[in-house]
Amino acid sequence: MKDTQIKKLIEAEKKRQKRVINLIASENYVSKDVLEALGSELTNKYAEGYSGKRYYGGQTFVDKIEDLCKERALKLFGLNSKKWAVNVQPLSGSPANLAVYLALVPKEGKIMGMSLDHGGHLTHGHKVSATGKFWIQVPYGVNKNTEQIDYEEIKKIAIAEKPDIIVAGYTAYPRKVDFKKFREIVDSIKHTDPNKKTYLMVDMSHFAGLVAGKALPSPFDYADVVTTTVHKTLRGPRSAMIFSKIDSREINKKIDKAVFPGLQGGPHINQIAAVAVALKEADTAVFKKYAKQIIKNADTLAKELKKLGWKIISGGTDTHLILMDTWMEGKGISGKEASDVLEKNGIIVNKNTIPNETRSPMDPSGIRLGTAAETTRGKKEKDFVLIARKIDKILRSH
């Protein structure tokens, strides 16, 4: 690279990534092949439209790449191409979710999603996001005592509010989600207009790799739409996909239109090629083992931290993710202080709100930890026992 300023900064970031213990729950390390696809000449190509229906010439190879990516996406999640469609053009998770609402939720319609401080995402209807400005959020949370999803409570809210869409799947919720129960809730909503139905959307961004690796239940038997990013547990490039059921409601056609021309222009073909590479890598026995190891490692980390006296939200984890209450009603340290002092000592986490947060989002009561990135680097349970002890020592000596 001739640009020495940028080259030096990339080299420095590469070294930083190697030096630290990375417990950011939404990050991972991609393969050299994924990087190669991302850094290829495909970035030079404009390809507005979809395979076979583009607005520019020269699409012979681009069409093949996008078709292959879609084929691999459906295969990885065991989906029949007559029953499910996939759009691989969303640039990342937020535009993917926005595209779904644009396609399926009427203006000022209702999005029922988990509140941000309980583990939901900004794009699940939060007021600071476009999804909360153009639509109305009907929030739900976790149970005060169990800190886990309370399906009966969700059912009550859903029946009373009759939302246009319910979103399941979260960004800081460590437990397995019962998608069947969500389907039952959606089916129990009676709209005044008998032709109207609530859609069930699952945002599996955080745990897509765990579903692909058959380490967590799949949402596809119950959802109408499934969105996901590719760069978290799925270990691909920054990107996203939208899966939709093919039926008389033509959800898939509406979503394609919402992605392009509704929200985006030309898709990033280098990114789509890199997604295709990652999807092939995930469709292997080695990846299945990896997915299971991520959960074993998270479980070990949660149990060890608990043993050392820390409060783990919901009492543990079923996934790659742990939400740790570091503040413990003033007996511990704030989430920001915890994150800062851990970083000084080479451990990277993010500060995070906890359910029924009493502090501010900039200095909340907790931190979020994830095991996917360090599992990619080969760490096992015994390593996570040591990481837990290191975290404990750093936080207590602060």
Binding residues vs ligand DSN (CB under 6 A): 26, 93, 121, 171
Q: How near is the Cβ of 24 to ligand DSN at its closest, in Å?
A: 7
Three-point CA angle 62, 66, 67, nearest 5°: 115
Beta bridge partners of 312: 324
Q: Does 370 belong to an annotated binding site?
A: no
Q: Which is nearer to ligand DSN, 93 or 209 (CB)?
A: 93
For the record, the structure tokens of 198 come out as 């609530």
Q: Among this protein's residues, is 377 annotated catalytic?
A: no
Q: Among this protein's residues, is 4 annotated catalytic?
A: no
Give the torsion sign (CA, 14, 18, 20, 21). Answer: positive
Q: Among this protein's residues, is 60 annotated catalytic?
A: no
Q: How near is the Cβ of 372 to ligand DSN at its closest, in Å?
A: 12
Would you call 53 helix, strand, or coil by DSSP?
A: strand
Q: Which is nearer to ligand DSN, 59 or 131 (CB)?
A: 131
Q: Does 68 belong to an annotated binding site?
A: no
Nearest residue to ligand DSN on Cβ basis: 26
Would you call 201 helix, strand, or coil by DSSP?
A: strand
Beta bridge partners of 311: 325
Q: Among this protein's residues, is 48 annotated catalytic?
A: yes
Three-point CA angle 31, 36, 40, nearest 5°: 155
Q: Which is nearer to ligand DSN, 228 or 297 (CB)?
A: 228
User: Among 27, 29, 33, 46, which one carries the catalytic annotation?
Assistant: 46
Q: Among this protein's residues, is 46 annotated catalytic?
A: yes
Q: Does 120 belong to an annotated binding site?
A: yes
Q: Give the pairing of strands 225-229 and 199-203.
A: parallel
User: Which secondary structure element, helix H or strand E, spans residue 136, and what is its range?
Assistant: strand 136-140
Q: Is 385 left (phi over 0), alpha (psi -120 to 50) or beta?
A: alpha
Are the beta carbons of 114 and 201 closer than 8 angstroms? no
Q: How near is the Cβ of 170 to ligand DSN at its closest, in Å?
A: 9
Q: Does 268 belong to an annotated binding site?
A: no
Q: How near is the Cβ of 238 to ligand DSN at its closest, in Å?
A: 11
Q: How far apart are CA 156 and CA 298, in angstroms?
A: 33
Q: How far apart are CA 46 and CA 62, in angstroms?
A: 9
Beta bridge partners of 50: 53
User: Among 45, 162, 197, 238, which one carries the catalytic annotation?
Assistant: 238
**What value does the CA radius of gyration of the chain take, rounded to a whole number of Å?**
21
Are the beta carbons of 349 and 364 closer than 8 angstroms? no
Q: Which is nearer to ligand DSN, 215 or 372 (CB)?
A: 372
Q: How far apart are CA 177 and CA 166, in angstroms?
A: 13
Q: How far apart are CA 33 and CA 127, in angstroms?
A: 39
Q: How near is the Cβ of 320 to ligand DSN at its closest, in Å?
A: 11
Q: How near is the Cβ of 188 to ligand DSN at its closest, in Å?
A: 30
Q: Which is nearer to ligand DSN, 26 or 233 (CB)?
A: 26
User: Among 27, 33, 48, 67, which one carries the catalytic annotation?
Assistant: 48
Q: Among this protein's residues, is 203 annotated catalytic?
A: yes
Q: Which is nearer to ligand DSN, 62 or 204 (CB)?
A: 204
Q: Which is nearer to ligand DSN, 121 or 235 (CB)?
A: 121
> Biggest alpha carbon distance in the chain?
64
Q: Give the pairing of strands 165-168 and 110-114.
A: parallel
User: Among 54, 232, 235, 368, which one carries the catalytic annotation?
Assistant: 232
Q: How near is the Cβ of 231 to ligand DSN at its closest, in Å?
A: 9
Q: State how far Cα 359 lies from the chain centre.
A: 25
Q: Would you please indicate which residues are annotated as catalytic (active-site) residues?
A: 46, 48, 203, 229, 232, 238
Binding residue numbers for (6S)-5,6,7,8-tetrahydrofolate: 116, 120-122
Binding residue numbers: 116, 120-122
